[in-house]
């Protein structure tokens, strides 16, 4: 049974539609990512799910209960959910521990203290328990807000760019802690994000929004592995559109395929040549910017290649067949 059902919802702040005919369901325990270009409507969707905005058309349900917006519901926000907004607010002069425990009952102080301690550990802020929030960095504040959103054990957690301000060093550990915690406690989550690591490692399913419309809701691995449109594939990083016939003359002239940079290899023997424009160091690999038939493509390679060199490239025929069948 689905926990959340969204049926054909549309929304506009003024006359310009922001979300159009969005429908999907969420099963208990799922972790869902919402991705899409900046301004496509991700934050707006989360606010609607939480009941902070009134939909113009359609309806949404928490289990069997209709989710009502502010026009029909005096207390904004749904009691079984928690929403962590991008512009979260904390009590600046109160300590980290006070902020995290802000909405917890004071009837059983020991219980409350234990809970706050557990949350401090998840967001790795134990040494800052007694520090006033105003003295923290932006990323530390974000971690306090995240801990506070977990405090009352929501059934569904709605996260808007939850790791936006957090440095890479902390981000990976925090992300692992958080999703382990959510899974262990059977908390369902919907995360709006730009970060492909959030998506690929932690989202069972991904919703893709383009200009206010739902383009896909799919298993994340399937969505990445079989890219069907350039917009979606590009949300995961660089992607190339390649004319198949350029390498395999048996294919129809107009056949094109989407290939990630790691799916194209340099090969001296190949008759299909690219001109190297630049090599970008990416840590474990170099990203080569190349010109193929007057278009820019990106290729991953273990080394840098001299700018201006003409090199052969190749890509797997089996992969092409798979891609062409998928997009057919
Ligand atoms: N309060 C508001 N009043 C009027 N227009 C708004 C308001 N909030 C957002 N918008 C507009 O609605 C559209 C969707 O905004 P939204 O914040 O939902 O996008 P987003 O996908 O979350 O973007 P980002 O990834 O940049 O956070 C944008 O065109 C935005 O300018």
Delimit the domains of the chain by residue range: 4-230, 238-327
Å from CA of 210 to ligand 1 middle: 13
Give the pLDDT of residue 170.
Answer: 81
Give the pLDDT of residue 328.
Answer: 45
153-184: b or e for each residue (b if 16 or more CB lie within 10 Å)?
Answer: ebbbbbbbbbbeebeeebbeebbeebbebbee
Alpha carbons 244 and 81: distance in angstroms, whole number: 48
**For ligand 1, mutation pick of 12, 17, 18, 190 (most atoms within 8 Å of CB):** 18
DSSP string, 186-233: T-EEEEE-S-HHHHHHH-SEEEEEETTEEEEEEEHHHHHHS--SHHHH
- Ligand 1 atom 28: residue of nearest CA: 39
CB-ligand 1 contact for 19 (6 Å cutoff): no
Å from CA of 43 to ligand 1 middle: 7
Alpha carbons 129 and 139: distance in angstroms, whole number: 15
**For ligand 1, mutation pick of 15, 37, 42 (most atoms within 8 Å of CB):** 42
CB-ligand 1 contact for 16 (6 Å cutoff): no
Return the residue matching tokens 């990416």: 282
What homologous superfamily is domain 4-230 in, according to CATH? P-loop containing nucleotide triphosphate hydrolases (3.40.50.300)
Distances in Å between the alpha carbon of 164 and those of 30, 85, 136?
A: 22, 11, 16
pLDDT in tens, the chain (328 residues): 789 999 999 999 999 999 999 999 999 999 999 999 999 999 999 999 999 999 999 999 999 999 988 888 877 778 899 999 887 889 999 999 999 999 898 888 899 999 999 999 999 999 999 999 999 988 899 899 999 999 988 999 999 998 887 888 888 888 888 999 999 999 999 999 988 877 888 999 999 999 999 999 999 999 999 998 999 999 999 999 999 999 999 998 889 999 999 999 999 999 999 999 999 999 999 999 999 999 999 999 999 999 999 999 999 999 999 998 765 4
Give the pLDDT of residue 232.
Answer: 96
CATH topology of domain 238-327: OB fold (Dihydrolipoamide Acetyltransferase, E2P) (2.40.50)
Report yes or no: 27 and 2 within 8 Å, Cβ to Cβ.
yes
- Read off the tokens for 254: 């107009």
pTM of the predicted structure, to 2 decimals: 0.92
Alpha carbons 260 and 280: distance in angstroms, whole number: 16
Å from CA of 234 to ligand 1 middle: 21
């Amino acid at each position: 049974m689905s926990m959340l059902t969204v049926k054909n919802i549309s929304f506009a702040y003024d006359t310009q539609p922001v979300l159009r005919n969005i429908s999907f369901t969420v099963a208990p325990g799922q972790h869902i990512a919402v991705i899409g270009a900046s301004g496509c409507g991700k934050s707006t969707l989360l606010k609607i799910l939480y009941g902070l905005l009134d939909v113009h058309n359609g309806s949404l349900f928490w289990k069997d209960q209709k989710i009502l917006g502010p026009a029909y519901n005096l207390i904004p926000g749904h009691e079984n959910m928690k929403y962590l907004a991008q512009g979260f607010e904390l009590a600046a002069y109160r300590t980290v521990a006070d902020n995290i425990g802000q909405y917890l009952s004071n009837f059983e102080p020991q219980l409350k203290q234990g809970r706050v301690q557990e949350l401090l550990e998840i967001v790795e802020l134990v040494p800052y328990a007694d520090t006033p929030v105003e003295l923290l960095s932006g990323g530390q504040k974000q971690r306090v807000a995240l801990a506070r959103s977990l405090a009352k054990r929501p059934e569904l957690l709605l996260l808007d760019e939850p790791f936006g301000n957090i440095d890479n060093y902390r981000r990976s550990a925090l992300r692992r802690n958080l999703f382990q915690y959510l899974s262990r406690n059977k908390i369902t989550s919907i995360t709006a994000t730009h970060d492909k690591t959030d998506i690929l490692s932690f989202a069972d399913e991904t919703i893709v929004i383009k200009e206010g419309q739902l383009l896909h809701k799919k298993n994340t691995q399937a969505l990445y592995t079989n890219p069907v449109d350039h917009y979606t594939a590009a949300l995961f990083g660089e992607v190339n559109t390649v004319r198949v016939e350029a390498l395999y003359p048996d294919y129809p002239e107009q056949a094109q395929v989407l290939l990630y940079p790691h799916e194209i290899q340099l090969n001296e023997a190949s008759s299909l040549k690219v001109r190297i424009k630049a090599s970008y160091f990416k840590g474990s690999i170099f990203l080569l910017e190349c010109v193929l038939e007057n278009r820019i493509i990106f290729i991953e390679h273990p080394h840098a290649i001299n700018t201006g060199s003409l090199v052969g490239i190749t890509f797997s025929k089996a992969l092409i067949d798979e891609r062409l069948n998928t997009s057919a």
